[in-house]
């Protein structure tokens, strides 16, 4: 048996003699273990304290404060990947996506078997619009821990975003089986049950002039989403232009790819009766950027298009650009600019500009029912009017509209506007539409 000899002061003998105290090695070991437990408890309390402080700062959107707390821990434990993961998540919440991505890339290389880090990386890719990469990251997380319901819900959301609705529904069902009490899984299933492939819409537009007979247009359209990459649209219009009937058929196809946006190409044909274009052709490119979930400017979407109109006695070419800005609390603001070139038989070519600004906003929610509104203002000049096809005027238009979501599969829209033209001419426009999703 091994002994450890400690010399202790007796403290009571007048001769101040010292006596040896012998302790077994197991006694010293017990003391060391107790000391480690106390130290570990203190470290655990300290660890809990900094996490609580960082979480409190993050909930208050004090990103700099949260990062300072975490940076202090990284300075003490530079190789602790859990602390580094905290740092990356706060960067993600703060909208500093490039920094967060760099951090997560290093973390998943150092700790490739942690599903939480892969899920966080997938959420980052979703914010950047990189849906295919997000799906790969979420799939890796599920592969590492297939029995976690929250990972399957996260993967289902990405599948839903890229249009893979059947697989998203299956993933959500798996999550609910793993955790029947999961509110996230139930909410995701509810949203997927409301998803539809087709939208059939009926509508009517009316222009009432103070100087001539009004114009009317009744129409029906069908938009079909075949996959996450392809959408088609067909529509028929039935016009009464100053009492003259005309019909038009329109069709278009839209292709979309991650990182590239969407491209739409289409055209029209029909019975013009010299009051509407004999045929049309157009294309439109669309791309959006998600900027931040916390700043005033949440995202921007840019659309550019060109449109050709061939009338019986004229040709019109229009170039249009639209910028849509996403704001907090579901507000949006858009600015559209159009330049149109008109060429009439026996006349020269002339360019005319116009512009429109629109503000969209939520009004009221009643569960699935939802009411949103918008107001707009437009100004411009035209060389192509309603009388004898040749009419030069400038105008200002004021108006607004609303959209009412009746159920998950039905909605109604309506709008109204008043246009003041030169020569004291006015145009009062009203319209509505009803949509069915199936």
163 found inside a domain: yes
44 found inside a domain: no
Where among 161, 177, 195 does a domain terminate?
A: 195
What pLDDT score was predicted for residue 28? 40
99 found inside a domain: no
User: Do 254 and 307 share a structural domain?
Assistant: yes
Tokens at 98, concatenated: 């490039």
Note every long-range contact of 315-318, with CB atoms under 8 Å and residues 24 or more positions apart, other chains counting: 315/342, 315/343, 316/277, 316/340, 316/341, 316/342, 316/343, 316/384, 317/341
Q: Write out the DSSP string of 167-180.
A: HHHHHHHHHHHH-T
User: Do 263 and 138 share a structural domain?
Assistant: no
User: Do 245 and 167 share a structural domain?
Assistant: no
69 found inside a domain: no
User: Do 203 and 318 share a structural domain?
Assistant: yes
The domain in which residue 181 lies consists of 116-195
We report the CATH number of the domain holding residue 139 as: 1.25.40.10
CA distance 438 to 115: 36
Q: How many domains does the chain have?
A: 2
Q: Model-level pTM?
A: 0.64
State pLDDT tens for residues 240-267. Answer: 998 999 999 999 999 988 678 899 999 9
User: Do 383 and 255 share a structural domain?
Assistant: yes
We report the CATH number of the domain holding residue 431 as: 2.40.160.60
Residue 242: exposure state from Cβ atoms within 10 A (0-12, 13-18, ≥19): middle
State pLDDT tens for residues 53-106. Answer: 888 888 888 888 889 999 999 899 988 888 988 899 898 888 888 898 999 999
User: Do 320 and 176 share a structural domain?
Assistant: no
User: Do 229 and 133 share a structural domain?
Assistant: no
What pLDDT score was predicted for residue 14? 38
Beta bridge partners of 400: 375, 416
Q: How far is CA 421 from CA 73, 84, 166, 398, in A?
A: 67, 63, 52, 12
CA distance 104 to 125: 11
Residue 21: exposure state from Cβ atoms within 10 A (0-12, 13-18, ≥19): exposed
280 found inside a domain: yes
Where among 148, 169, 195 does a domain terminate?
A: 195
User: Do 210 and 165 share a structural domain?
Assistant: no
CA distance 94 to 65: 11
60 found inside a domain: no
User: Do 424 and 275 share a structural domain?
Assistant: yes
What pLDDT score was predicted for residue 335? 97
401 found inside a domain: yes
55 found inside a domain: no
User: Do 321 and 215 share a structural domain?
Assistant: yes
Where among 163, 195, 227 does a domain terminate?
A: 195
Other CB atoms closer than 10 Å to residue 393's CB: what's the count? 16
User: Do 227 and 325 share a structural domain?
Assistant: yes
Other CB atoms closer than 10 Å to residue 15's CB: what's the count? 6
* CA count, 13 A, side-chain hemisphere, 89: 18
Mean per-residue pLDDT pooled into runs of 10, the chain (438 residues): 37 39 42 43 54 86 89 89 89 87 91 92 86 90 92 90 81 87 81 78 96 95 88 97 95 88 96 93 92 80 96 91 92 95 74 94 86 96 50 85 90 97 93 95
What pLDDT score was predicted for residue 250? 98
User: Do 376 and 315 share a structural domain?
Assistant: yes
Residue 316: exposure state from Cβ atoms within 10 A (0-12, 13-18, ≥19): buried
């Amino acid at each position: 048996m091994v002994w450890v000899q400690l010399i202790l002061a007796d403290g009571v003998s007048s001769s101040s003699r010292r006596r040896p105290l012998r302790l077994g090695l197991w006694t010293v070991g017990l003391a060391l273990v107790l000391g480690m437990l106390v130290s570990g408890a203190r470290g655990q309390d300290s660890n809990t304290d900094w996490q609580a402080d960082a979480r409190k700062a993050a909930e208050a959107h004090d990103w700099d404060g949260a990062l300072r707390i975490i940076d202090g821990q990284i300075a003490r434990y530079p190789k602790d990947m859990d602390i580094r993961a905290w740092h990356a998540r706060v960067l993600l919440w703060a909208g500093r996506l490039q920094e967060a991505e760099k951090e997560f890339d290093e973390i998943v290389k150092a700790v490739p078997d942690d599903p939480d880090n892969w899920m966080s990386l997938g959420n980052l890719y979703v914010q950047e619009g990189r849906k295919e990469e997000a799906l790969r990251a979420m799939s890796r997380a599920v592969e590492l821990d297939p029995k976690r319901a929250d990972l399957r819900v996260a993967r289902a959301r990405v599948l839903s975003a890229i249009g893979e609705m059947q697989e998203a529904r299956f993933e959500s069902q798996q999550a609910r089986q793993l955790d029947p009490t999961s509110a996230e899984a139930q909410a995701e299933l509810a949203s997927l049950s409301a998803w539809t492939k087709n939208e059939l819409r009926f509508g009517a537009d009316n222009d009432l002039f103070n100087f001539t007979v009004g114009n009317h247009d009744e129409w029906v359209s069908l938009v079909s989403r075949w996959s996450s990459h392809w959408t088609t649209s067909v529509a028929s219009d039935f016009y009464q232009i100053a009492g003259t009937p005309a019909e038009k058929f329109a069709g278009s196809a839209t292709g979309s790819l991650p990182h590239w946006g969407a491209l739409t190409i289409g055209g029209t044909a029909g019975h013009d009766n010299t009051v509407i274009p004999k045929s049309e052709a157009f294309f439109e490119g669309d791309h959006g950027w998600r900027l931040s979930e916390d700043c005033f400017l949440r995202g921007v979407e840019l659309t550019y298009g060109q449109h050709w109109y061939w009338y019986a006695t004229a040709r019109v070419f229009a170039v249009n650009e639209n910028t849509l800005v996403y704001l907090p609390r579901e507000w949006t603001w858009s600015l559209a600019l159009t330049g149109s070139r008109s060429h009439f038989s026996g006349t020269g070519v002339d360019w005319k500009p116009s512009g429109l600004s629109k503000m969209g906003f939520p009004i009221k929610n009643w569960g699935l029912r939802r009411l949103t509104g918008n107001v707009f203002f437009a100004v411009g000049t035209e060389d192509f009017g309603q009388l004898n096809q040749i009419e030069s005027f400038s105008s200002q238009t004021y108006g607004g509209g609303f959209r009412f979501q009746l159920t998950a599969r039905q909605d109604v829209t309506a709008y109204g506007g008043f246009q003041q033209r030169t020569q004291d001419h006015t145009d009062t426009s009203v319209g509505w539409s009803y949509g069915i999703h199936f």
